Amino acid sequence: MNIALKTLTCAFAIVLVACGVSTSSDIASAPDANNIELARAQEEDARAADAHAAASREINGATLKLNLKQARVDYGEAIAKANHDLSDALKKCKLIPARALPACEADARSIRDQSTERAKVRLSLADQ
């Protein structure tokens, strides 16, 4: 039994040594593998950041175009409203005495001019 125990102990020692050699080589190559994986992860992070930045630029550009388009629509509506208000004001001016007519018409045109100037300013601010 003593011989069987010695044989078994030797076999067990050989297995442990073999495992130890394998583990040592794995440990030795682990930093290289970790560095490679780390480099890949960093590269993927950089690609994702670039894609995110490109998407943000694209969204910002589309938003600016949309805002400018809306500002142009708002400008057209403001000019149309100012002209309509002028027309209504001139009709009302005709109902007052003739001596006050020039001042009434001048006031109506002044109000329209101020409205169109405000619309132009809003459009130019949106265009910047």
Is the residue at 96 inside a domain? yes
Is the residue at 121 inside a domain? yes
Is the residue at 14 inside a domain? no
Q: Please spell the DSSP secondary structure of 28-68, one letter per residue.
A: HHHHHHHHHHHHHHHHHHHHHHHHHHHHHHHHHHHHHHHHH
Q: pLDDT tens-digit profile of 43-87?
A: 999 999 999 999 999 999 899 899 999 999 999 999 999 999 999
Straight-line distance from the first to the last Cα atom of the chain, in angstroms, rounded to the nearest whole number = 96
Question: Global pTM?
Answer: 0.58
Is the residue at 60 inside a domain? yes
Q: What is the dihedral of CA 66, 68, 70, 72, to 10 degrees?
A: -150
Q: Report how many domains make up the chain.
A: 1
Q: Domain residues for 111?
A: 35-126
Is the residue at 84 inside a domain? yes
